[in-house]
Structure 1
Amino acid sequence: MKTGKPIVETEGAVRVLSKAGGVLAVGFTLLFHQGVYATPGVTPEELKQLGTTLTPWGSEIAGNKDGTIPAYTGGVKPPAGANPSDKIPLDPYADDKAVVTITSANMAQYADKLTPGTQALLKRWPDYKVNIYPTRRGYPQMSAERAQGSIKNAGNPDCKTTDDGVGLRGCWAGTPFPIPKSGYQAMWNALTHEQTEYELRMQSWIVDAGGNRTMTNEAIQQSDYPFWDPKETPYAGAAENYYRFLNKTFAPARDAGQKTIVWYPAEFDRKDQRIWAYTTGQRRTRLAPEFTYDTPSAALSGALNYDELGLFAGRMDRFDFKLAGRKEMYVPVNQYRMLTHTPEQVLGKQFINPDVTRWELRRVWLVEATRKEGKRHIAAKRRFFIDEDSWSILTSESEDDAGKLFRVGQSNGWPQYNRNETGAAGNMDYSNTTYDLSKGQYLLASFIDPATGWAKQVKRFPDYTFRAESMAGTGVR
């Protein structure tokens, strides 16, 4: 297979052969000539699909049979007037019109493509609706280096999870499991999915059962993704962690100056998640091991648990994760529209204003999680719907011990149409909405107020940015 050619269509599929700027099967033929064997569970025949019928990171290149999901042709392009230095990205799909609106009145005819959580929201509120737009497969094609990394992972027998699925081994600088064989593999793809390093100024809002809005937190967050940096030593130093972030709070006034650093290790079976909290009243930094699993986040008024950040975060040792297959579902994606609306325009009394959100028909992987016997968690079962293109979790659901659905999570992310100087891009999906059906309230986490907030794409921050010593040294109260 040669490189350096544009994307070309062949027999209803798109064969990605781009080198500059692109996806492709760079090194694909070379890998087989070197006699590389597939990741456990992946056959050589399946491996050959990467870069031909599948993108190097594992999504189906062809559209669906009836044309409602188009072929993948390289992802979103910068719209006219866009600038890499923009604090808030422009909407490349601003001219799109909804093709159908689903309400409680007509939901039955679309039920096979609606998640149980979406159906629950439609049934609960007669004026809740889901606006379906044309499917835009906006996830940006990976750089050649990152695409090759994904193919190498798929062809590397040492790229695997531990037997219990909790730890990651041998995978690096690409999608770990482009052809997932287990729920744990799919979840690891989601946890490590490609994102750009960023700095956010964001707010979180809770709307109670009476429709009252309260801003629970305003902060600046800085992120780091060592897993995607080929210059790092895999699984050592900063790269012990697939993701790190620093959160600096400046509102409400009582919390101003508080800081939190979080490390998520790849070898979760051997290493603990590390969280440090700087408290202004005590003027010291302490380890906070309790900020895990289903512990409610005080900064978010207890409306979101720590393992619900980004719809799922942390160690996977309290549930059995089963891969239930790939399905066509209506899910929230490409949420550029929300970035241009104020909190007053977004936050309805019972749910997010449906007219500022965008839903599409997408192929998603469904992972079903069942709590292990003897383990403690408020959820007995959880479901995760993961986008095949970006590996982002687009929506999640939790059931209690009685089998009753009590939480529904929705992503408010969007694809980055510019790569930064380190080649990073991917899907920005830090923000989400969580509906608590038992309390009748919802939380909008990490919302960017267009008047004051930003989502700046940046280079990797220096390592000391994410060190507890640095956080303690810069405390101001």
Structure 2
Amino acid sequence: MNFPTRTLTLAIALASGAASAALTPEEIKQLGTTLTPWGATKAGNADGTIPEYKGGIEPPASYDPKKPNFRPDPFANEKPLFSISAENMAKFEDKLSAGAKEMLKKYPGYRIDVYPTHRTAKYPKYVLDNTLKNAASCKLADNLLQLSGTCFGGVPFPIPKTGSEVMWNRTMKYDQFAYYSPSQTSTLVDRSGRRVETGAFAYWQTFPAMNPARTEPIKADEMLEYGRIDWTGPARKAGEKLVMHDSVDMLNVGRRAWSYLPGQRRVKLSPDVAYDTPSPAGGGVGTVDDTQVFYGAQDRYDYKLVGKKEMFIPYNTFRLHDEKQCGTDQVFTPNHLNPDCVRWELHRVWVVEATLKPGARHVYPKRTFYWDEDIPAVGMADNYDDAGKIYRVTQTHYYPFYETTGHNTHEFVVHDLTNGSYVRQAYTPAGGGMMEVTPAAEAKPASFYESSALSRAGVR
């Protein structure tokens, strides 16, 4: 890998540190000048294939604010700059992940269509202000599993110096304060190309630290995230409900989850909705923490910051959400999504290697994460098996919002390279459309996510 000398030196010196290193005043002054307010390199690259950041996306003229979840593709008229296949991938090897190269070699019909790069990230002012505060005061405790110092709802470590800091940026990522997805769907495509709906559900999420009205710092033991799923399908799961509480404190509190089973009419604690438990909507493909590339506590791995590099990643995936071009019958092809529907771009990413801690258990003993410098939750992962071979490849399918600042990073795909199957989780309402942003005033209260709320709302 060819990394900038400064980045590589920084990674080697600090990757194994037991606590996060404080930024110097000179480093903090880079934010908003040579770096974006959240810490990405503001300038483009030397050959112009990555542009300078100039403020993010603006809604195109064809966008109708009365239909906020229908977001037209501003890049619909662009054509691929080039396509990468097994035949020519050696030419682009330094910008491809190991997982992408393995898929190109394994599947004859797989290709990567590379389009012009657009840096569409956009954050609200309060998140940028909080990020600047974090640069001077947010730290990690010695175990790297707790925030310490004074941290606010923004990017906690805009100039990360360790792998754990990059992973915390993903954990604390800003998409929105609250979401509502009335129709989230998980679809499995097995090795023969047969399509199976493995999950259909309504989905709510609230991130208390990202409340725009909030002014106080994050407490060490408060809730980081509330989530709730109300299953509507398949028939065997219809009527089930699940709530999850993720704490800022990954060490002493971690994740707690409760499920409602309509056949028993009772709520039970679900301690297995974490780590490498098979995903309840994955149909046997993917773990719980494969969700959104990585979702959950960090305590089972040691994280090494390899550095920052330019790589091709799925980005600005408007076409993938266009029912006319990439509806259900078009998008799902054997072994992988239809390459015609997936847009790839060249972006700078943070590369983090995760190695299972001695004595810890996980189906993936090694993982490599690639996180976008502009949006810490956009990226990919290569997940390895005990033999050191790539077992599964995960990718996000991001698009920006128009009705407000922020990003949808919740949709993803998991490819199982051992059997040729894959599963995609996406927002697929009847008649098309995309994920809905919940106005702050309409965000669900904490009581909506309590276990007692499940039994009150339960139905047979």
TM-score by length of 1: 0.87
TM-aligned CA deviation for residue 236 of structure 1: 5.3
Match of 1:399 among 384, 401, 414: 384
Question: The residue matched to 2:281 in structure 1 has which SS?
Answer: helix
1:350-369 counterparts in 2 under 5 A?
A: 350-369=335-354
1:361-440 counterparts in 2 under 5 A?
A: 361-419=346-404, 425-440=405-420
Match of 1:276 among 258, 283, 286: 258
The answer as to whether partners of 2:248 and 2:254 remain within 8 angstroms in 1 is no
The residue aligned with 2:229 is: 247
The residue aligned with 2:8 is: none
The answer as to whether partners of 2:301 and 2:354 remain within 8 angstroms in 1 is yes
Distance 2:429 2:105 in 1: 30
The residue aligned with 1:343 is: 328
Long gaps (5+) in structure 1: 1-38, 420-424
The residue aligned with 1:468 is: 451
TM-aligned CA deviation for residue 205 of structure 1: 0.6
Question: The residue matched to 2:333 in structure 1 has which SS?
Answer: coil
Distance 2:280 2:133 in 1: 42
Deviates more, 1:76-85 or 1:428-437: 76-85
1:31-110 counterparts in 2 under 5 A?
A: 40-84=21-65, 85-110=67-92
TM-aligned CA deviation for residue 144 of structure 1: 2.2
The answer as to whether partners of 1:384 and 1:395 remain within 8 angstroms in 2 is yes
Deviates more, 1:203-212 or 1:293-302: 293-302
Q: Which structure is richer in relative contact order (CA contacts within 8 A, separation 6 or more)?
A: 2
Question: The residue matched to 2:435 in structure 1 has which SS?
Answer: strand
- Which residue identity lines up with residue 168 of structure 1 in the other structure? L
Match of 1:118 among 78, 96, 100: 100
TM-aligned CA deviation for residue 168 of structure 1: 2.0
1:212-361 counterparts in 2 under 5 A?
A: 212-229=194-211, 230-231=213-214, 234-235=217-218, 240-340=222-322, 341-361=326-346
Question: The residue matched to 1:299 in structure 2 has which SS?
Answer: coil
Distance 2:35 2:216 in 1: 29
Overall identity of the aligned pairs, in %: 38
The answer as to whether partners of 2:292 and 2:395 remain within 8 angstroms in 1 is no
- Which residue identity lines up with residue 221 of structure 1 in the other structure? Y
TM-aligned CA deviation for residue 233 of structure 1: 5.2
TM-aligned CA deviation for residue 163 of structure 1: 1.4
TM-aligned CA deviation for residue 270 of structure 1: 2.1
Distance 1:124 1:154 in 2: 43
TM-aligned CA deviation for residue 232 of structure 1: 6.9
TM-aligned CA deviation for residue 206 of structure 1: 0.5
1:338-370 Cα distance to aligned partner (Å, 9 max, x none): 111222111001210001110000000001100
1:403-450 Cα distance to aligned partner (Å, 9 max, x none): 11110001112122331xxxxx32211111111011221111134256
Match of 2:143 among 158, 164, 172: 164
TM-aligned CA deviation for residue 309 of structure 1: 1.1
1:185-204 counterparts in 2 under 5 A?
A: 185-196=165-176, 197-200=178-181, 201-204=183-186
Distance 2:218 2:261 in 1: 30
1:292-324 Cα distance to aligned partner (Å, 9 max, x none): 110102332221211111111111111101111
The answer to whether residue 115 in structure 2 is matched with residue 133 in structure 1 is yes
- Which residue identity lines up with residue 57 of structure 1 in the other structure? W
Q: CA distance change for structure 1 residues 236 and 320 in 2, over 3 Å: closer, same or farther?
A: closer
The answer as to whether partners of 1:88 and 1:456 remain within 8 angstroms in 2 is no
The answer as to whether partners of 2:68 and 2:403 remain within 8 angstroms in 1 is no
The residue aligned with 2:128 is: 147
- Which residue identity lines up with residue 40 of structure 2 in the other structure? S
- Which residue identity lines up with residue 46 of structure 1 in the other structure? E
Distance 2:107 2:240 in 1: 38
TM-aligned CA deviation for residue 145 of structure 1: 1.9
1:132-180 Cα distance to aligned partner (Å, 9 max, x none): 000000011x222221110100011xx1112121222331121100000
Distance 2:308 2:219 in 1: 34
Distance 1:128 1:454 in 2: 26
Moved over 4 A (4+): 232-237
Distance 1:434 1:75 in 2: 28
Deviates more, 1:463-472 or 1:112-121: 463-472
Question: The residue matched to 1:155 in structure 2 has which SS?
Answer: helix
The residue aligned with 2:425 is: 445
1:168-202 Cα distance to aligned partner (Å, 9 max, x none): 23311211000001111101101111112221112
- Which residue identity lines up with residue 80 of structure 1 in the other structure? A
Distance 1:395 1:330 in 2: 10
- Which residue identity lines up with residue 457 of structure 1 in the other structure? V
Give the alignment's Cα RMSD to 1 decimal: 1.7
Distance 2:62 2:201 in 1: 28
Distance 1:413 1:143 in 2: 18
TM-aligned CA deviation for residue 463 of structure 1: 2.4
Distance 1:473 1:45 in 2: 55
Distance 2:334 2:104 in 1: 15
Q: Count how many residue pairs are aligned between Structure 1 and Structure 2.
A: 430
TM-aligned CA deviation for residue 210 of structure 1: 1.3
Long gaps (5+) in structure 2: 1-19
TM-score by length of 2: 0.90
The answer as to whether partners of 2:226 and 2:446 remain within 8 angstroms in 1 is no
